[in-house]
Amino acid sequence: MGKPDIRRIAPKPQRLKRVRVAAYARVSTDHERQLSSIAAQVSYYSHLIHSTLGWEYAGVFIDEGVTGTSTKHRDEFHEMMGSARAGGIDIVLCKSISRLARNTVDLLETVRELRTLGVTIRFERENIDTATADGELLLTLLASFAQEESRSMSKNVKWGIRKKYATGGLHSRQPYGYKYKASDLVIVEDEAEVVKRVFTQFLVGESPEAIAEELNSEGIKPRRGKAFQGQVLRKILENETYTGTVILQQHYRPEIANAAVTVNTGELPRYLVTRSHPPIISPDQFQAVRDELTRRRQLGRGATPSARTCGLTSRIECSVCGRFYHRRTKTRRDKRYKFWWCETATKGKGNPCHAPQIRHTLLTNICADTLGWTEWDDEQALHQLKRMIAHPDGTLTIHTTTSDTPVVVNIHENRQS
């Protein structure tokens, strides 16, 4: 028997496992230079992932114009995390730690969650890979430096803004009707015409909601968003900027991490600057609007009838919880009708007050009969109706300015008649 022939069996070629790779980038402002940097990063990471053997493109996630001190308002960041949780990412590439987070707590929470999901992060500038043993220690140290750098930069920016305020300089104030040209506010003519219209129509008795609805029906759009809202027009009516005057440093951000902007009630100096820029509204018209706003607030929310308010608004009270009745619309097959119901019941948590629903037409007929009118009149209701109290048994106590004795009616009896 001869010598055995021994040959090594070559292993079968392993199928290359493709690694799903994503990248994350962020800039804190919409400045053109930073947006150009973002475009370069997107191009760089897309090419890197597509050209690396064994890598599979899992997306490039970009947040533009958002701060790194919190992850709360970063939509693309949350989309990336959602993809990781769904098992769609194995590696995340990031230019630097500060691009992912300037807050140490947020950074470590993110890294640790991704690690439990089997996802690693590679930070290019710091040359850190969270897959390594010493990755988290380095991250903790470097993230602390990034957080302190962010705090220092924030202080410097705030100092510059406050020095600017002290000399009458504007900062980031670009209300509807104006735009910046160099460092000056200039009038945008078509928007200024809308502003003038809002002030004029308000003074002749229209509500901000009615004006907004009219503008929207004509296809006139705000600078941002799809449609005008009543609350936005109220801010326009209350903004002294339209008279060419500004009050600087009305708000500020406290020196606390992630603090919200708050009203300045004397914590910092405020500055009144007149003839700061061209006016759209005269001081007399602005003061007239201010006086009218005060008058309507004293009368109550329903002081000016509109598409959303009427002479009954804020005048119907629930006898059980004391909240106002709200007007709602109900659709049944092809029929639509308006009705009033206690605010507690309209919140979708049942009807603990046992408050009766009252149809709008029935309620206006009852009030017109009580006040001796031939038909309902919103404007007269503002002056003659004090308040109404709705009871669970269907009775309605009506207090008017024309009589010291309230009138009690039964809505069920009136509905039958």
For the domain with range 178-299, which CATH number is right: 3.30.1330.60, 3.90.1750.20, 2.40.160.20, 3.40.190.290?
Answer: 3.90.1750.20
- The widest CA-to-CA distance across the chain, in whole angstroms, is 130
- In this predicted structure, which of 127-136, 251-260, 287-296, 389-398 has the lowest mean pLDDT? 251-260
CATH architecture of 19-149: 3-Layer(aba) Sandwich (3.40)
121 DSSP 8-state letter:
E
Are 198 and 280 contacting, i.e. CB atoms less than 8 angstroms apart?
no
Beta bridge partners of 262: 252
d(CA 76, CA 65): 12
d(CA 159, CA 266): 17
Greater confidence (5 vs 363) lies with 363
d(CA 32, CA 398): 62
How high is the pLDDT of residue 32? 45
Encode pLDDT of 175-193 as tens digits.
888 887 777 788 889 999 9
For the chain, residues classed under CATH 3.40.50.1390 are 19-149
d(CA 27, CA 63): 7
How high is the pLDDT of residue 301? 47
Greater confidence (347 vs 12) lies with 347
Beta bridge partners of 55: 19
How high is the pLDDT of residue 24? 92
Cα–Cα nearest to 296, from 405, 176, 379, 185: 379
How high is the pLDDT of residue 15? 62
Are 226 and 212 contacting, i.e. CB atoms less than 8 angstroms apart?
no
- Residues near 62 by beta carbon (within 8 Å), at least 6 away in sequence: 24, 25, 26, 38, 41, 42, 76
- In this predicted structure, which of 59-63, 197-201, 248-252, 340-344 has the lowest mean pLDDT? 248-252
Q: What pTM was computed for the model?
A: 0.41
- In this predicted structure, which of 9-13, 136-140, 334-338, 376-380 has the lowest mean pLDDT? 136-140
Burial state string for 327-351 with b = 16 or more CB within 10 A and e = fewer than 16: beeeeeeeeeeebbbbbbbbeeeee
- pLDDT bracket for residue 300 (50, 70, 90): low
Q: What is the dihedral of CA 44, 48, 50, 53, to 10 degrees?
A: 170
For the chain, residues classed under CATH 3.90.1750.20 are 178-299
Please name the amino acid found at residue 295. Answer: R
- pLDDT bracket for residue 168 (50, 70, 90): very low
d(CA 175, CA 195): 10
Encode pLDDT of 191-230 as tens digits.
999 999 999 888 877 788 888 888 888 888 888 778 888 8
d(CA 83, CA 398): 59
Q: What is the dihedral of CA 356, 360, 362, 363, to 10 degrees?
A: 80
Phi, psi of 61 (to 5 degrees): -105, 125
**Radius of gyration, alpha carbons of the chain:** 32
Are 244 and 285 contacting, i.e. CB atoms less than 8 angstroms apart?
no
Name the burial class of residue 101, with classes exposed (0-12), middle (13-18) and buried (19+) by CB atoms within 10 angstroms of its CB. buried
185 DSSP 8-state letter:
E
How high is the pLDDT of residue 307? 44
Structure-block tokens of residue 117:
């999901």
d(CA 343, CA 318): 9
